[in-house]
Amino acid sequence: MTVAALLAQGLGHHRAGRLAEAEGLYRQVLETAPEHGEALNLLGVARAQQGALAEGRALLQRAVAAEPERAEVHANLGQIELMAGERAAAERCYRQALTLAPDHQAARLNLGNLLLAGDRMEEAAACFEQLAAQTPALAEAHEGLGFARQRQQRPAEARAAFEAALARRPAGQAARAPLLANLGGLLLDGGDAAGAVDRLKEAVALAPDQAELRANLGIALYAYGDLEGALTALDGALAQAPAHTRALGAKGVLLAELGRSEEAAQIVDYDALLYVQPVTPPPNGGSLEAFNRALATQVLAAPSLMAERAGKTTRGGSQSGELFRRPDGALAHLVAEIERAMGAYFATGDGHPHRPRRPHRARLTGWATVLESGGHQDPHNHPGGVLSGVYYVRLPATADEVEGNLEFGRPSAGLGTAFTPKLHRVVPKEGQLVLFPSHFWHHTIPFESAETRISIAFDLVPISD
């Protein structure tokens, strides 16, 4: 067979999901032409799709060297870099692809999503706007723009973008469901609970197996004032995903408002489900104070530290991006201490119905918060997590013992209720680790001080098999 025929046959297998057959044909090409750019490109993609990221990256790098002016190979290498967690390298690849081919749809879409995930909202919005102008029929371009505008708190533009995306999804198509959910959330944030309920009911009808949609519907119904309907929707979400963070957190508040205090107390059982312990500094590494100073230095030097991150709950301060991807120095020891504390937490196994269970596969993700005087965290919980926590690196002196406390129980304003259930406070201490189920509502009470306050929060996030 000719090289062209081998590649065509391999690509047919590839598109049909028969990766092993495709790989064999690509390798046949490389036996006779070891630096054939397209064979290296396709084989690199196939290997990455099978989980061999290092080999896939090496093959794509060879493809780039063989065909440096071809945008497609730069875009594909960017995808592999992103899969490997190399966000900066992925961005460079996407931008190079777009330099070579400004209308490369996949590269611009992936770059927009990368910028969105990095909280670079202005750049993300510009990227999606350009993509929507180039490819008006692409629903994902309008949806990405909607996300960026929503997080920039520009609701009218966000709504227009989401509706444009929805118009490009045929009626009855399951892909409409997340767009309807986005619109529902936007309407709820804007005070239109009735409109949010309508959108979310339509979303649930299109994708009834998605617990997240039922949870969102329950929250919208709660805000609308249909408490029993809200409870039914939340229970539906929990029947599909028993530990669903948003559903469980909302249900705890709702049950308390309905007067079902014993059931509510089980969901927010602070005595049984909160875990507080000191961290041990590294052996031969000096005192706890020295450990915390080293942590503070690493946090304050983090390139991702950003003031008032869009879509986050930090007020009057800065928040970093991911810190635990490749931790070193003091951060590496903190990760080890968190993992040790989580191991002890999961080992307790007292049969409590709402004690988090260790996922089969999970990753630990962490970020830092640096608060100035008057700073605080708005009420929130941690959707997507199973077990969450915070470590206190630096705590300034305050006027009283309440300022700066970690307070549990007060729900997010997004829940749409003025009801406040029983509250529980933890007085933070430097060197102290606090673990709690991710569904617990919590916030930081504002403080006044001339010094900054530094903490590191974290989640244990399940990984789907």
pLDDT at position 358 over 70: yes
Quick check: 110 pLDDT over 90? yes
pLDDT of 429-452, one tens digit each?
Answer: 999 999 999 999 999 999 999 999
CA distance 221 to 196: 9
The pLDDT score that the predictor gives to residue 30 is: 94
Q: 130 phi and psi, to 5 degrees?
A: -65, -40
- Going by pLDDT thresholds of 50, 70 and 90, the confidence category of residue 349 is confident
- Check whether 175 has a pLDDT greater than 90: no
Model pLDDT, residue 138: 95
Q: What is the pLDDT of residues 23-76, one digit of tens each?
A: 999 999 999 999 999 999 999 999 999 989 999 999 999 999 999 999 999 999
The encoded tokens of residue 356 equal 């988090």
Q: Residue 444: beta bridge partners? A: 377, 406
Pick 284 or 363 by higher pLDDT. Answer: 363
The predicted structure's pLDDT at residue 465: 60
Model pLDDT, residue 333: 96
* pLDDT tens track for 144-171: 999 999 989 899 999 999 999 999 998 8
Asked whether the predicted pLDDT for residue 416 surpasses 90, the reply is no
- Please choose, from the candidates 183, 254, 244, 264, the residue with its C-alpha nearest in 3D space to the C-alpha of residue 222: 254
Section 115-141 average pLDDT: 95
- Name the nearest CA neighbour of 233 among 248, 241, 221, 224: 221
Helix then strand then coil, % of the chain, to nearest 5: 55, 15, 30
Rounded to whole angstroms, the Cα distance separating 177 from 378 reads: 29
Query: DSSP assignment, residue 409?
Result: S
Residue 165 pLDDT: 95
Q: What is the CA radius of gyration of the chain?
A: 25
Q: What is the length of the chain?
A: 465
pLDDT > 90? residue 311: no
pTM of the model: 0.85
**What would the mean pLDDT of 330-341 be, rounded to a whole number?**
97
Pairing of strands 442-444, 362-380: antiparallel
Mean predicted lDDT score pLDDT of the chain:
93
**Mean pLDDT to the nearest integer, 97-113:** 97
CB neighbour list of residue 314: distance below 8 Å, 6 or more residues apart: 308, 369, 371, 375, 377
Q: For position 42, what pLDDT does the model report?
A: 95
What is residue 373's DSSP assignment? E
Alpha helices (H) along 84-226: 87-100, 105-117, 121-134, 139-151, 155-167, 176-189, 193-206, 211-224
What H or E segment, with its residue span, contains residue 369? strand 362-380
Q: Which residue has the tokens 């896939």?
A: 56
- The pLDDT value recorded for residue 353 is 92
Write the CA distances from 267 to 389, 407, 426, 436, integer angstroms: 17, 16, 18, 12
Whether 49 and 72 have beta carbons less than 8 Å apart is answered as no
Tens of pLDDT, residue by residue over 372-412, are 999 999 999 999 899 999 999 999 988 788 999 999 999 99
Answer for the pair 21, 29: CB distance below 8 angstroms, yes or no. Answer: no
Q: Is the pLDDT of residue 129 over 90?
A: yes
